[in-house]
Homo-oligomer: A and B are copies of this chain.
């Protein structure tokens, strides 16, 4: 019998009416012959309310007491959903995090370690829907532990892996993963299928849809994910290891990612000697600063070179402080920074086998007089750093050029 995990976010659990409509969906899946586990978030706004109470109680609060307080939100929705299902004639019971989810790591930001699958198996085989509060488990010291804000997606995936579910469905208030941000491109289209890798690279687009950590976990666990609307009865987006069936004919490019959260750093006149790049990048990494889009090429016969990279805008001043301390050792001429930049990327498994896609991207941007400040590429993504005020234009023209606009699709 297929075993599925259904995960519902806070908006879907906000009030009894919505819980009733969640229960109706759950019942339908159970009646269709699935073994069903449901992972629920707290009612929308409830976790914020509880976090605020903790802040007011003590500025520097004990994370294990914080966990006791904030974990209560999902306990409430788990109990309410179980009784609503029972009221609809569907066998159900709630389990608390402390009854079956062993977590490790620090309080307030723990990780799911093991799931007591024997207890769940027994319930599921008896035809009972298991309702589990997301975002929590029990720590090694036997206390309530939460998994960090937004951790319910990850806990749903971890529970699905723990009980060897066939699929994990994430019901949310968006109805799937789009080819790009629909606020920039109104013609953005919902993708029927996307690979895990593409989903991770589209994070800038998909961040509001799914926690990145949960996608990485599902990929490692070979667990197919589905993102779909909690409110509409429409197919969502399947997130899979490899495109399959009709979807193999999908566009080579899955979508266009846009990221305004970048700042550019350039060091000029670096001595052209081994270890000079590492001498800059390593201290930044040690300071916990994420460095991206590293571009370095020596100018032949000059003995010196420029190094350009990006850091998150929020880390720029910290990065500058680290680099200024290096001045003597690394011997660069000038430190130039620019935080009015943005990154636009084409993402798709097709890039792997079609080098001409990168070339096409550069041509399309050049036609619109969009200057490339830096370029980087991975197996399934090509990114260009451009001026921030050209970002929306860049996303639009690339979306059209790669055949992603809604009316262009079949």
Contacts and interface: CB of A to CB of B under 8 A. Distances in A.
Contacts of A60: 87
A69 interface: yes
Contacts of A390: none
A342 interface: no
Interface string A24-37: 00000000000000
A65 B69 CA distance: 19
Give the copy number. Answer: 2
Interface in A15-60: 16, 19-20, 50, 53-54, 56-60
A65 B86 CA distance: 10
B76 A72 contact: yes
A94 B65 contact: yes
B57 A19 contact: yes
A58 B84 contact: yes
A83 B96 contact: no
A66 interface: yes
Given A64-B93, A72-B76, A75-B68, A83 B98 contact: no
Looking at chain A's contact residues, the main secondary structure is helix
Contact of A68 (B62, B69, B96): B96
A144 interface: yes
Given A53-B80, A96-B144, A58 B86 contact: yes
Contacts of A142: 99
A79 B53 CA distance: 10
B87 A65 contact: no
Contacts of A59: 87
Contacts of A98: 96, 98
A60 B65 CA distance: 34
A61 interface: yes
Interface string A81-119: 011101100000110101100000000000000000000
Given A58-B84, A58-B87, A60-B87, A65 B53 contact: no
A67 B78 CA distance: 11
Contacts of A143: 96, 99
A219 to B, nearest CB: 33
Given A16-B53, A19-B57, A56-B16, A80 B69 contact: yes
Contacts of A68: 75-76, 78-79, 82, 94, 96
Nearest to A87: B58
Contacts of A64: 93
A103 to B, nearest CB: 15
A20 B56 CA distance: 10
Given A57-B84, A58-B86, A59-B87, A65 B93 contact: yes
B75 A61 contact: no
Nearest to A58: B87
Contact of A80 (B16, B54, B86, B144): B54
B99 A86 contact: no
Contact of A62 (B54, B62, B86): B86
B50 A62 contact: no
Contacts of A80: 53-54, 57, 65, 69
A23 to B, nearest CB: 9
A61 B87 contact: yes
A20 B59 CA distance: 13
Interface centre among A71, A76, A142 (most CB of B within 10 A): A76
Contact of A57 (B16, B58, B61, B144): B16
Given A57-B87, A65-B83, 8 more contacts: A58-B86, A62-B93, A64-B93, A68-B76, A68-B79, A68-B96, A69-B79, A72-B75
8 closest cross-chain pairs (CB), A and B: A58-B87, A68-B79, A69-B79, A72-B72, A61-B83, A65-B83, A16-B56, A58-B83
